[in-house]
Amino acid sequence: MKKTITIYTTSSCAYCDMVKKFLTSKGLDYTAVNMDEQPEIRQQVIEMSGAMTVPITVVEDEQGARDLTVGWNPAKISAAVRDMVAA
């Protein structure tokens, strides 16, 4: 099943860069959405995640099921992308 990865970030977020590097090291594509550049989506992200912090990493499948990770949590992100990583 195909999944997409979206990372909601800000310009000054070191943990956001860590998530990006982590996913890149696994050969995974993602979309980064910088909320400093797109402030109109900030409230939507807060409602989706329940958090006012970044990064918010969303792994979504074709049916719309989401696995959401708030902050830098490599174990949780790894679990969410496990079936996306080439063996």
Average pLDDT in the 7-17 region? Answer: 97
Q: Which two tokens stand for residue 58?
A: 């969303």
Does the structure show a pLDDT above 60 at 87?
Answer: no
Q: What is the pLDDT at residue 1?
A: 67
Q: Residues near 58 by Cβ (< 8 Å), separated by ≥ 6? A: 5, 6, 7, 8, 48, 66, 67, 68, 69
Query: What does DSSP say about strands 56-61 and 3-9: parallel, antiparallel, or unpaired?
Result: antiparallel
| pLDDT single digits (tens) 25-82 | 999 999 999 999 999 999 999 999 999 999 999 999 999 999 999 999 999 999 999 9
pTM: predicted TM-score of the whole model, two decimal places: 0.92
Which residue ranges form the domains of the chain, and what is each CATH number?
A: 3-84 (3.40.30.10)
Q: What is the pLDDT at residue 85?
A: 78
